[in-house]
Amino acid sequence: MSADYLYGKRPKPAAAKASKARPTDPRGKLMTGRIVKIMVGQGHGFIRLSDKRQVYFHRADLSEGTAFNDLQPGDAVTGEVLEDAISGARAVRVTRKRRR
């Protein structure tokens, strides 16, 4: 046995194959829509897309520089939609369009 194992350090695993590695930065389809509902206390809301579908977003899914507390229903937003067969669609990298 190696000294690393005896002192509680786990041996480093062999390098994972690139084909089996999960992407660290998933990309979705570009989307535009409007915020229809915001639950400030819970930190999430819903966006209605141009195809009338609603998708979920969390405050952690906002792009850097976009403040969750500044968002209001009716605000136009852009971002990406990640489709998941288990939990459904989710908006990520959400950014509010500039108000005119």
> What domains sit in the chain, N to C, each tagged with a CATH number?
28-96 (2.40.50.140)
A 10 A CB-CB count for 92 gives 20
pLDDT at 84: 85
Task: Please give the pLDDT value at position 28.
Answer: 81
The neighbour count for residue 55, using CB atoms within 10 Å, is: 22
| Spans of the chain, pLDDT less than 50 | none
**Per-residue confidence (pLDDT) for residue 99, from 0 to 100:** 67
Closest by CA position to 46, among listed 33, 82, 37: 37
| pLDDT 10s digits, 72-81 | 999 999 999 9
